[in-house]
Chain A
């Protein structure tokens, strides 16, 4: 049974969100993420982090695990909202869930069109295979 979907009192307008990893917006990754989201809350979606004040240094301070990720994909909330996607302020700041109507390749392609990248993670200090 899904858990209650509890939302923070937060406004998605004007924020930058990021998804770490080069392949995390490909269909298999989004399908996995959407399945986990649906089992947890009963809605289809996937996780992103808000970049507080567009300051990646602040983001790595509150989410230190991002320092081991070399690449990221970035979107502006206005572009996601204009494309018809909802941003849900789930869990604790800076976590958001981008809600999709259904986990289909067509929806995933529309998601990818809202993101730019892969970009170098300016906070990367970890090991890399490359």
Chain B
């Protein structure tokens, strides 16, 4: 079986100005993976069907809901300025 290209699906329209977005394990490619147990501080990949996956860090988790901070490629703006 091919490993999924990313761990969690994210909606680009839900990413806030601090690059934080809530993801649902149940809506992602590892929904059926019982070994997938993201915890605060873990590094993983978030993605969707359209663009390359992005690295992200888990901030917190509440059951099925996982909040991550996305890491943008270094050539891009990394944070909001206002």
- Measured CB to CB, the residues of A under 8 A from B are 19-24, 29, 32-33, 35-36, 46-49, 60-71, 91-92, 95, 125-129
With A60-B77, A126-B73: A65-B12 Cβ-Cβ less than 8 Å: yes
With A32-B27, A63-B80, A64-B77: A126-B11 Cβ-Cβ less than 8 Å: no
* Residue contact A47 to B51, C-beta cutoff 8 Å: no
* Residue contact B50 to A36, C-beta cutoff 8 Å: no
* Residue contact A71 to B50, C-beta cutoff 8 Å: yes
* Residue contact A69 to B12, C-beta cutoff 8 Å: yes
Bound form: Cα–Cα A61–B21 in Å: 17
Residue numbers in B under 8 Å from A20 (CB-CB): 12-13
| B37 adjacent to chain A (CB < 8 Å) | no
Of B11, B21, B27, B76, the residue contacting A68 (CB under 8 A) is B76
Residue numbers in B under 8 Å from A68 (CB-CB): 12, 51-52, 54, 72-73, 76
* Residue contact A32 to B12, C-beta cutoff 8 Å: no
* Residue contact B13 to A125, C-beta cutoff 8 Å: no
Residue numbers in B under 8 Å from A129 (CB-CB): 50-52
Residue of B at shortest CB range from A129?
A: B52
The interface bits of chain B over 37-74 (1 if a CB of A lies within 8 angstroms of the residue's CB, else 0) are 00000000000111110100000000000000010110
* Distance between B41 CB and nearest chain A CB, rounded to angstroms: 21
Residue numbers in B under 8 Å from A46 (CB-CB): 13
A-B contact pairs, 21 of them (CB 8 A): A20-B12, A21-B13, A23-B49, A23-B50, A36-B14, A36-B22, A47-B13, A48-B13, A49-B13, A63-B80, A64-B78, A65-B72, A66-B12, A67-B72, A67-B77, A68-B54, A71-B50, A92-B16, A125-B75, A125-B76, A128-B52
